[in-house]
Amino acid sequence: MDQAIEYGEEVLAARRAGVPIVALESTIISHGLPRPRNAEVARELEAIVRAEGACPATIAVLDGVARVGLGAAELERVANESDLHKLGRRELPLAMAAKASGATTVSATATLAQRAGIAVFSTGGLGGVHRGYVESFDESADLLALAETPITVVAAGVKSILDVPATLERLETLCVTVVGYATTTFPGFYLNSSGSPLSWSLDSPEAVAAVMAAREALGLHSALLVANPVPLAEQLDPSLHDEALAEALEGAQRDGVRGQQITPYLLARLVEATGGAALEANLAAVRNNVRLGARIAVAAAR
């Protein structure tokens, strides 16, 4: 048990009973979805984990305390407080020292989950290398966090607003193990495929668990990224996606949006331009990843 972390009652009970645990991020609740649907989705994702025989551990920082596993009241707080910080790994000590509250991004969630001894973390899409990197040097902290954190992350690739081929090159440079789940191409977040090929593919939770065991035996300190595509029937229409993304990128350039504001700007424009279809594809991907993450955690526990 880590004294820097406080654990929810359900997580503590799961540990005592030997029930596998799956980490979930809180940024999607606080910053990624409109109210009151965000709270409904948070409860739904936790229910999916339980239905697969695992325990959900939604992670956040509340009043300076890193919380692994939120109770019902804490989940509602994350969903409804309007002034929560968005915390990456670098902001964690600042929030804890200031006794501030915030939702955790991929990098912060992975860091706290691994420190808490949780082997599997499910999310939607990762950050990565932004378009026009050679001018802006804009790259998500998610990539370095994956390079330094020995945890299994289930995600639907990286957000399609990013430079996917460049992100894959960076993941290779950072020695992050990437494997497709029942796919030989890297997922496209809203789309089933980005078109970028993958060298390795697995087709069962047990196969992923075997890779996890081999990584642990080798003592590697980087993540295993399980790239799990959104189902074809639930993906965003590719033509609509490409048209909406082109308009969003043009709007960002016209409006001078850059830095930390570019990602929320582009995602919001995509949702608006697709009449909400992009949001539904995002949620379909998250549900799919949470379900698979729970199955992997159960297989690894066996």
- Out of 46, 52, 139, 159, the active site residue is 159
Neighbours of 194 (CB within 10 A): 22
Count Cβ neighbours within 10 Å for each residue of 8-33 and write b for 16 or more, e otherwise: bebbeebbeeebbbbbbbbbbbbebb
DSSP β-bridge partners for residue 85: 102
Report which residue type is found at 69: G
Structural tokens at position 93: 């000590």
Question: Do residues 274 and 257 make contact, with C-beta atoms less than 8 angstroms apart?
Answer: no
Neighbours of 221 (CB within 10 A): 12
Question: Do residues 162 and 131 make contact, with C-beta atoms less than 8 angstroms apart?
Answer: yes
User: Is 86 a known active-site residue?
Assistant: no
Quickly tell me which residue has 């992009």 as its tokens.
278
Question: Do residues 277 and 190 make contact, with C-beta atoms less than 8 angstroms apart?
Answer: no
DSSP β-bridge partners for residue 57: 23
User: Is 6 a known active-site residue?
Assistant: no
Q: State the catalytic residues.
A: 25, 159
